[in-house]
Amino acid sequence: MTRILPTSLLIAALLLFLPAWLTAQEASIPAERIYDAGQLKPMDSTLKVKVGDPAPEFSLPTISGERITLAQFRGSKNVVLSFIPAAWTPVCSGQWPGYNIVQDMFEQTDTQLIGISTDNVPTLHAWVQEMGGVWFPVASDFYPHGQLAEALGILRSTGETERALLLIDKEGIIRYIDVHDINSRPDLGPLVKAMQELKE
């Protein structure tokens, strides 16, 4: 019995500490937690705004607990709204971790990035935590459901939003729109180019 004890302790130690150590190492989402929705209709809404239009005002709750508004950036920062269709889906789970390494490009062009989906705040919180956190605010357009997305004309018939990027200047005018095929990730290049042009 005394010989078994150290082995049992070792098992207990392994069981206790290895998962914690692994979690600490792992900052992107394990494949089994991602819901693969398969190939979807590329677009399922009709855009209601165009470049040159004033952007609709919004006030949305964020995962940090505060609300975020477009008005708070008026006169100080350009704003990029990155709409993703849903938390816990494949393309979306890659898109924001990519934006995570280009914070400097947003800062150099006086641009505030805001991530948005129609998921509720707790879901967005859990998902963003799972991806290891992001530097930009993540806002929920959950209730009234998809109000901002509907105002822009990017709310799909199933309640998710399109995969869309909008650049709004310091005066609140929309300067760039990319409503992308929901199944693929938009190239970062054209967005950054638009941000830089706005800065000049």
Q: Which residues bind another protein (CB under 8 A)?
A: 3-4, 7-8, 10-11, 14-15, 18-19, 22, 25-28, 31, 36, 94-95, 97-98, 100-102, 105, 131-132, 185, 187-189, 192
- Structure-token pair, residue 154: 């990017």
Residues 6 or more apart whose Cβ sits within 8 Å of residue 127: 29, 87, 88, 93, 119
Neighbours of 62 (CB within 10 A): 19
- Shortest spacing between CB 160 and another protein, in angstroms: 20
- With respect to another protein, which residue has the nearer C-beta, 100 or 147? 100
Neighbours of 197 (CB within 10 A): 12
- With respect to another protein, which residue has the nearer C-beta, 69 or 196? 196
Q: Indicate the helix (H) or strand (E) that contains 95.
A: helix 90-99
- Shortest spacing between CB 76 and another protein, in angstroms: 26
85 DSSP 8-state letter: S
- With respect to another protein, which residue has the nearer C-beta, 24 or 65? 24
- With respect to another protein, which residue has the nearer C-beta, 15 or 75? 15
As a whole number of angstroms, the distance between CA 6 and CA 136 comes to 48
- Shortest spacing between CB 166 and another protein, in angstroms: 19
